[in-house]
Structure 1
Amino acid sequence: MNKTIFGTACLLGMLTIILGAFGAHGLEKLIAANAITTFETGVRYQMYHVFLLFILGLLPSLPNSIKRLVFYLIVIGIVLFSFSLYFLALNDLMAFDFRKIGFLTPIGGTLQIIAWGILGYAFFKGKSNTFQDE
């Protein structure tokens, strides 16, 4: 499971850098400033959750069932949240009206919130000795 988590984090991290550079250098003359801000929000939250995936892969005493659940919630959350923001930001450049999929953004965010909650609960209520009070 850890290799899958790390591999996914690496791929999503590389994609985050590519998308961030594209947003900063390729979009500035193509879309409005508020659309660039929307795009940057997607990039920022994607990177936050890439870091969470790296941390998740480093937690040795977390049960694999919890790791797997958190992993899937984060990855699906990234796709729904960040990628819907990318498409919404690029809406004026596309033939399809991506505002029709705008409802996916809060669903993705909710999945990410749930993942953080499950991870926190697993630490505070589980038998994990990763963080021991001194």
Structure 2
Amino acid sequence: MNKTYLIIAAALGALSVILGAFGAHGLKGRMEPDALDIFETAVKYQFYHVFALLAVAIISQFIPGNLLTWSGRCFIAGVILFSGSLYLLSYFKMIGNTQMNWLGAITPIGGLCFIAGWLLLVIAAIKN
């Protein structure tokens, strides 16, 4: 088992719950609905990929090699780039700073990281 990925997944999972609750209770009414939707998308994808990272952490004890290591790295990078850019974008929308809309261009890079992580997991499973 990859203990590092397990710890990161658990921490990201706790953060997902905290941010989800904050969004539902602390931001509702303070954010425009479109900015809140962006925030909720960030939380949702972060939480989905907590489970992906947990799977990588557990499966790594059965399937050795670098493919799972890179899969986990891609999931972590995806959370940072995809969800992180959406968190920042929703914040800047909330405060009315339209100069930071370029952050939306980072989000697809995070999405590509998620896709790469899943594909690496598939390849690792096939090669085993």
Shift of 1:94: 6.6
Deviation of 1:112 after TM superposition, in Å, equals: 0.5
- What is aligned with 1:15? 15
Q: What letter is aligned with 1:3?
A: K
8 Å CA contact retained: 2:67, 2:123: no
Rounded to whole Å, the distance in 1 between the matches of 2:65 and 2:17 is: 29
**TM-score computed with the length of structure 1 as normaliser:** 0.87
Shift of 1:95: 5.5
TM-score (norm 2): 0.91
Which of 1 and 2 has greater Rg?
Answer: 1
Q: Distance in 2 between matches of 1:22 and 1:96?
A: 23
**Is 1:29 aligned to residue 29 of structure 2?**
yes
Alignment of 1:22-61 (within 5 A): 22-59=22-59, 60-61=61-62
Aligned to 1:89: 90
Would you say how many aligned residue pairs link Structure 1 and Structure 2? 126
Q: For the Cα contact (< 8 Å) 2:42–2:83, is it kept in 1?
A: yes
Give the direction of change, closer, same or farther, for the CA distance of 1:32–1:3 in structure 2 (3 Å limit): same
Change (3 A) 1:64 1:96: farther
Residues 1:108 and 2:110 aligned together: yes
**Greater mean alpha carbon deviation, residues 40-49 or residues 86-95:** 86-95
Q: Please report the RMSD computed on the Cα atoms of aligned residues, expressed in angstroms.
A: 1.6
- Contact 2:53/2:72 (CA < 8 Å) preserved in 1? yes
Deviation of 1:79 after TM superposition, in Å, equals 0.5
Deviation at 1:101, TM superposition (A): 1.9
Which letter maps to 1:84? Answer: S
Larger mean CA deviation between 99-108 and 64-73 belongs to 64-73
Does structure 1 conserve the Cα–Cα contact (< 8 Å) formed by 2:74 and 2:116? yes
Residues 102 and 34 (structure 1), Cα distance of their counterparts in 2 relative to 1, 3 Å cut: same
Partner of 1:71: 72
Question: Deviation per CA, 1:28-86, whole angstroms, max 9, x where unpaired?
Answer: 12111111111111100100000011111111222241221111111011000001111
In 2, the alpha carbon distance for the partners of 1:20 and 1:94 equals 22
Q: Which stretch shows the higher mean deviation, 61-70 or 10-19?
A: 61-70
Unaligned 5+ segments in structure 1 are 128-134
Determine which structure has the larger helix proportion and give its number. Answer: 2
